[in-house]
Structure 1
């Protein structure tokens, strides 16, 4: 019998015994742990003061582990909550609750994001809220005028996204406005350099499953540098990502998801191709017409900003071409199909062309629009 197999045979009875021994009731908790869990439950019935005035429901901490060290303790917990009227399912956040024992009782001293977990907006300070007709804007360290202006822009962005995307979606958005670029990066769990110069990004899982955490996160520094028209384009682009989330999957090409969002954002504006695609126009004037639609790696942040701009602009022109040549319903159908079919199949079924045909038509449009 081979050595590995022999070892497996010796271990199996021991493993089986251990499994059988663990099939009974869970190990009982001692009185101190029960008291700690009860203290967390009592404390968590009321949201923190930083969230006063925020529409919340289902606010609850579920403790998964307790660690004691004398008169101090730490509870690992999952916070679950909904923003009333905006979240289709509960949002979740891994938290670490700190407790101290005073006068024979355990009391919560505070909580924070668990190690490795992203902080929540209220971890950065008191949250102010502005509610619009289609959006809820939550900000930290921002004046009321700024938050109101962003809410007004979001109220224009949501109908614009709905006009471009006729598929089902909530028709509302939650916008987070942290106090700085660094604070934005904390919320997203990425280096600040990746978001420098950007106006906003969208968070949330793609796919049809309920996803409560669709949030548009504004970079206040990048936002301040945008023109009023630029702010409208950026926010409509990000809200369109929220609208199309359920139809977007890992098979959806980035040129299609990003190009569609830009197409929706520019759809109701008077921007010309030269104005909307300046980086690509410069490349075309140098005789550099792209040989193929942008690849996924072309959208990576932190590299050449001109190359990144060309990727977005080329994607927009490609979606614009599809909408003009085959019709807006065909573009929407392509998006829906590309989330569940290979791209060649989706192109054939939605447009009746293959990738080579589409690429040639796009290159011709790039030359004619940006020469």
Structure 2
């Protein structure tokens, strides 16, 4: 017997499911497949310290250098000395050498040593195919000079890494380190958190930075949970493998990528923030950008390479394979760009989520299609627009699914896949979106909406 999807909305007297700004919320019974939304953090640098265009020497300009009047610094010698520390740390992770990793950490700061030891234990589980650290430009803070001494060097650091079998190319995240010079001229790490409040959201605070973790691998899947959650890791891995297979089969042209699922107790991981009331209550999972270049390095928003899924710790027991198939569709399409209209982004992910899937009961999509036409399309005046999509999410998701379902039925998977790629890459304005849609479908968004109306009437 097939299940009948039904449109999501705020929970009412009938105990129906609730829908939030970003993704599906818990529900009392399985009547509505989970509609998980894309949260690829477009405002990653908001409220944080953005990188600036790289300078002529190839180092990104993080902040204003030391003000005039500061002691003269041999910047070349300092950069070389700190670089030795960074190279040694990356090498220690590759060699699984904890002593080498801690060699340049201030031994007098026991808490820092403990944090760095835990960081090493976490990092070594991920299995990096490549890993390196690169100094960015100095961030001056007189308070830190007063605390650590005149040689204090607060610097942004780009960590470039590639997780074996997961990341299709090297990607970057950002951290901040404070160094001081020891007697004899070598440098030591005295803090790993002084710059945290300045770093861009969405390209900082990775899973390995957040307490004791356990990393579990399965075919094309990597799961990150708390150290004592082996059973949860096994459960999520099985669902993730099924979801990866489903997206690989369903997405036009096939998808050969991998899925990362992070399910930690922390409420802020990467670009996902489950302390925000709306997210905390309603969201199940979010797909968060992984960067090829950091925000501000070459473009304001950064160049996106991939996406990792972060699960809401409050709702992790509601995650199923369909949930992850939705999110992994966002992962599969993340490299295309950030400009596709929200109805296409969410409609495509929901379309894949609803398809027949191994181990999951089939959905009564014919019945659901009629329900969406009657309940939502009949009252709508257009496709959901980007600026109100999440505000009206209880109607936006089913309407978006209906539109993408129509495109697959009438134009085929190849055309839809090509359309998505061009819209995501080039559709930064409505004029561009119209041009691309006319080229591929001989339809604008407005005319597509009228076609949905026409088909419903027939």
Same fold (TM over 0.5): yes
Q: Aligned pair 1:218/2:311, yes or no? A: yes
For residues 299 and 98 of structure 1, do their structure 2 counterparts lie closer, same or farther at Cα, with a shift above 3 Å needed?
A: same
Structure 1 partner of 2:166: 86
For residues 364 and 143 of structure 1, do their structure 2 counterparts lie closer, same or farther at Cα, with a shift above 3 Å needed?
A: farther
- Equivalent of residue 175 in structure 2, options 95, 112, 118: 95
Contact 1:321 1:365 (C-alpha < 8 Å) held by counterparts:
no
Structure 1 partner of 2:67: none
Consecutive unaligned residues in structure 1, runs of 5 or more: 1-26
Cα distance per residue 1:302-339 (max 9 Å; x no partner): x4xxx212111110011112222333334334323434
Greater helix content = 1
Q: Structure 2 matches for 1:1-371, cutoff 5 A?
A: 28-29=74-75, 35-47=81-93, 48-64=120-136, 65=138, 69-70=148-149, 73-76=152-155, 77-99=157-179, 106-109=187-190, 111-112=192-193, 114-117=196-199, 118-140=204-226, 143-167=229-253, 169-180=255-266, 182-184=267-269, 187-188=271-272, 192-196=276-280, 197-204=282-289, 211-226=304-319, 231-250=320-339, 252-268=340-356, 270-273=362-365, 283-284=375-376, 289-300=379-390, 303=391, 307-339=392-424, 340=426, 342-364=432-454
| Distance in 2 (alpha carbons) for counterparts of 1:297 and 1:279 | 25
| Distance in 1 (alpha carbons) for counterparts of 2:423 and 2:305 | 23
Structure number with greater Rg is 1
For residues 93 and 349 of structure 1, do their structure 2 counterparts lie closer, same or farther at Cα, with a shift above 3 Å needed?
A: closer
For residues 366 and 151 of structure 1, do their structure 2 counterparts lie closer, same or farther at Cα, with a shift above 3 Å needed?
A: farther
Contact 1:51 1:126 (C-alpha < 8 Å) held by counterparts:
no
For residues 42 and 66 of structure 1, do their structure 2 counterparts lie closer, same or farther at Cα, with a shift above 3 Å needed?
A: farther
| Distance in 2 (alpha carbons) for counterparts of 1:366 and 1:111 | 59
Cα distance per residue 1:64-114 (max 9 Å; x no partner): 338653288444122222212222332222222244667766433452464
| Distance in 2 (alpha carbons) for counterparts of 1:43 and 1:171 | 29
Over the residues paired in the alignment, what is the CA RMSD in angstroms?
3.7
TM-score normalized with structure 2 length: 0.61
Cα distance per residue 1:21-73 (max 9 Å; x no partner): xxxxxx84386775455344434432312223221133222223386532884
For residues 107 and 333 of structure 1, do their structure 2 counterparts lie closer, same or farther at Cα, with a shift above 3 Å needed?
A: closer
| Distance in 2 (alpha carbons) for counterparts of 1:32 and 1:357 | 62
TM-score normalized with structure 1 length: 0.74
Contact 1:121 1:187 (C-alpha < 8 Å) held by counterparts:
no
| Distance in 1 (alpha carbons) for counterparts of 2:334 and 2:422 | 14
Cα distance per residue 1:257-279 (max 9 Å; x no partner): 11011101112252235986899
For residues 275 and 94 of structure 1, do their structure 2 counterparts lie closer, same or farther at Cα, with a shift above 3 Å needed?
A: farther
| Distance in 2 (alpha carbons) for counterparts of 1:40 and 1:326 | 52
Q: Tell me the SS of whatever aligns to 1:88.
A: coil
Contact 1:132 1:155 (C-alpha < 8 Å) held by counterparts:
yes
Q: Which protein has greater RCO, CA pairs closer than 8 Å, 6+ apart? A: 2
| Distance in 2 (alpha carbons) for counterparts of 1:71 and 1:352 | 66
Count of aligned positions: 329
Q: Tell me the SS of whatever aligns to 1:334.
A: helix
Contact 2:289 2:306 (C-alpha < 8 Å) held by counterparts:
yes
Consecutive unaligned residues in structure 2, runs of 5 or more: 1-72, 94-119, 293-301
| Distance in 2 (alpha carbons) for counterparts of 1:175 and 1:291 | 37
Contact 1:203 1:217 (C-alpha < 8 Å) held by counterparts:
yes
For residues 248 and 75 of structure 1, do their structure 2 counterparts lie closer, same or farther at Cα, with a shift above 3 Å needed?
A: closer
For residues 74 and 331 of structure 1, do their structure 2 counterparts lie closer, same or farther at Cα, with a shift above 3 Å needed?
A: same
Contact 1:124 1:140 (C-alpha < 8 Å) held by counterparts:
no
Q: Tell me the SS of whatever aligns to 1:49.
A: helix
